[in-house]
């Protein structure tokens, strides 16, 4: 009977984790994250699903004689936004992965 109790407890915990994962996924859906560089002169806003919502460039950041510099800044802001999305996802999923690790055999 102890085996059945352990199995039932495991199934209950798995179901709880599934519900938590669904809630975390819904909470992540299309949240906006912004990446910046050059002190905020270049800003890129993405959704957590990777859709680019906006690119904002302060006119003072534009030097028509050196557009490569601006292109680099846009790429830097984009990378910063992607890093911020990744960090947000890790932060939101950490409780679930911690719980899964706790349930893993040998833990």
77: containing domain: 2-103
pTM for the predicted model, two decimal places: 0.68
Distance CA 73, CA 43 (A): 9
- Tens of each residue's pLDDT in the chain, 107 residues: 676 777 677 777 778 777 777 776 666 667 899 999 999 999 999 988 888 999 999 999 889 899 999 999 999 999 999 999 999 888 888 887 787 777 766 55
Q: What is the CATH number of the domain that holds 40?
A: 3.30.1310.10
The count of structural domains within the chain is: 1
Decide: 36 and 77 in contact? Cβ < 8 Å: yes
Give the angle subtended at the CA of 97 by the CAs of 99 and 82, to the nearest 5°. 155
């Amino acid at each position: 009977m102890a085996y059945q109790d352990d199995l039932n407890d495991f199934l209950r915990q798995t179901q709880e984790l599934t519900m938590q994962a669904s809630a975390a996924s819904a909470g992540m859906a299309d949240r906006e994250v912004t990446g910046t560089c050059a002190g905020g002169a270049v800003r890129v806003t993405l959704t957590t699903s990777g859709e680019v919502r906006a690119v904002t460039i302060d006119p003072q950041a534009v030097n028509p004689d050196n557009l490569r510099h601006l292109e680099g800044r846009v790429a830097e802001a984009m990378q910063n936004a992607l890093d911020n999305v990744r960090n947000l996802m890790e932060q939101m999923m950490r409780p679930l992965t911690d719980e899964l690790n706790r349930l893993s055999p040998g833990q």
